Structures are given as C-alpha cells and as structure tokens.
Amino acid sequence: MVPPLESPLAGAGPTENAGQRPIRKRPNRLAAPPARAVTGIKAILFVVSLGPAVRLLVGALTDQLGANPVEFITRNSGDWTLIFLSLTLAVTPARWLTHWHWLQKLRRMLGLFTFFYALVHFTTYFWLDKFFDLSAIGKDIFKRPFITVGFAAFVLLIPLAATSTNAMVKRLGALRWRRLHRAIYLIAPLAILHFWWMKAGKHDFSKPILYGSVLAGLLAARILHGAWVRWRAAPARVPSERAAASSR
C-alpha cells in the first residue's frame, strides 16, 4: 500500500562528485539475514498481523466482544490501523539506523495491513453501525468533523493500496508513483485528528497523544534525514577559498 515512500526503482547509493562533501560508504552495522530467512520473517509477520482480525472474528462468533460488539470492533480496528500505520512509517528510519535494506521488503505488507484494518474500521461503521443508510452516512460526513476527516483519510488510502504492486510502480513510473504515495504525509495527521476529535467527547486524549507523538516523531525523522542528506550533498567550501573570496 501506501508506504513505501521511496520507489524501489530509485538509483543506487550516493557517489562522490567534485565540489561535494565527501560521502563515505558505510558498511552494514548489522549483518543481513539470508534470503530464506527474510521469507520466513515475512511469513511470520503475515500470521502475526492477522492475529487481531482473527481475534475479532472468533470473538464475534462466540459472543465475546462485550455488551456493544459494534463499538468494540470499531475501536479495536481503529487502534490497529494506527499501529500498522506507525509500523509502516517506522520501516524506513529503522533501515537508516541498521542499514538492513531487506526491511523494505516488509514495508508493503505492513502498508497493506494498514489499509486492511482501516477497511474493517470503515466497513463496521458503514454496515453494522449505519446498515448501509447512505443518507445517514452523508449527514455524518458533512456534520460530524471526526467522521469527515476519517472518511477523507480512508479515501486517500484507497489509491495507495491499489498501486502497491510492482506492476503499478512500473506503469505509473517511479516519479509519479512516489508523488502519489506522499499522500501518506496527509493521511497520518488526518487519522490522528479523526481519533482526537472522536475522543474529545469523552475527554480521553491519552491514546491520541500517544499515537500522535509516535507519528509526529516518525515524520520529523524524515524531515531531519532529508535535511542531513541535502547538507551532505551540498558543495563543500575549503577555508582557503573562503579567505580568497573575502579578500576580493
């Protein structure tokens, strides 16, 4: 889905050009596992990621979701949407820190699970809460701000999920694909705003603050890393050249 925020078609690592700050090629800090191990990790991650959905299904079939099952499913699927959104956005910073480039192979799966739990969240509202009453849903979207921003975030997720395959990356082209998937930078704050306004009625902001802080930190890490990369790529001036320029 959504993330990856960097195209898999992007070029190789940085090079040293004349007039630029020297960029040293750092070795991997941690040894990358073999391809077979990565496949195993992906399989385990897939099974674990399905766990919350299985729990909801079993709870619904055995009537163990409490006095208000619809509210439980809505709340639980919303929480897991934010958790998987955070995990998806955490992959790239984790790769920067560990130099484990194979982590990118997990990002698409995590992104798709973000969409999956968002779909469960929306479907619960659309089906179990409103019983496909389009008129009532339309009124909610236009009159209740937390529904408005939540609906907007979900709609923005749809094209990201639809273009998550390698075939779509090639069809759109790396540049257009990256631009489209930058919508995640809008989706994340909209999701937090949706959660914040939903909790405002109960004056319970502990979880919105927690998820908001995590997502803000992950987005800030991208901004800082981008600034650092631009600084490293900027032309380096030798002190003697500065002195010569100042004497003119």
Ordered per-residue pLDDT tens for the chain, 248 residues: 544 444 333 333 444 444 444 545 555 456 677 778 889 999 999 999 999 999 999 999 999 998 899 999 999 999 999 999 999 999 999 988 888 888 888 999 999 999 999 999 999 999 988 888 889 988 888 889 999 999 999 999 999 999 998 899 999 998 999 999 999 999 999 999 999 998 887 778 899 999 999 999 998 888 888 888 888 887 755 455 555 555 55
Residue 8 covered by a domain: no
Q: Residue with structure tokens 């798709």?
A: 112
**Both tokens assigned to 153:** 């975030």
Residue 24 covered by a domain: no
Give the integer Cα–Cα distance in Å for 97 and 16.
22
Give the integer Cα–Cα distance in Å for 109 and 94.
16
In this prediction, residue 154 carries a pLDDT of 96
In this prediction, residue 234 carries a pLDDT of 75
In this prediction, residue 43 carries a pLDDT of 94
In this prediction, residue 149 carries a pLDDT of 95
Residue 40 covered by a domain: yes
In this prediction, residue 15 carries a pLDDT of 44
Residue 220 covered by a domain: yes
Can you give the pTM of this predicted structure? 0.80
Q: How many domains does the chain have?
A: 1
In this prediction, residue 38 carries a pLDDT of 87
Residue 18 covered by a domain: no
Give the number of other Cβ atoms within 10 Å of residue 88's Cβ: 27
DSSP state of 20: B
In this prediction, residue 129 carries a pLDDT of 87
Residue 41 covered by a domain: yes
**Both tokens assigned to 234:** 């900027």
**Residue-number span of the structural domain to which 40 is assigned:** 36-233
Residue 93 covered by a domain: yes
Using only the alpha carbons of the chain, give its radius of gyration: 22
Burial class from Cβ neighbours inside 10 Å (0-12, 13-18, 19+) for residue 238 reads: exposed
In this prediction, residue 45 carries a pLDDT of 96
Which residue intervals of the chain are DSSP H helices? 35-61, 69-98, 104-123, 134-143, 145-162, 166-172, 174-181, 184-200, 206-233, 239-247
Residue 248 covered by a domain: no
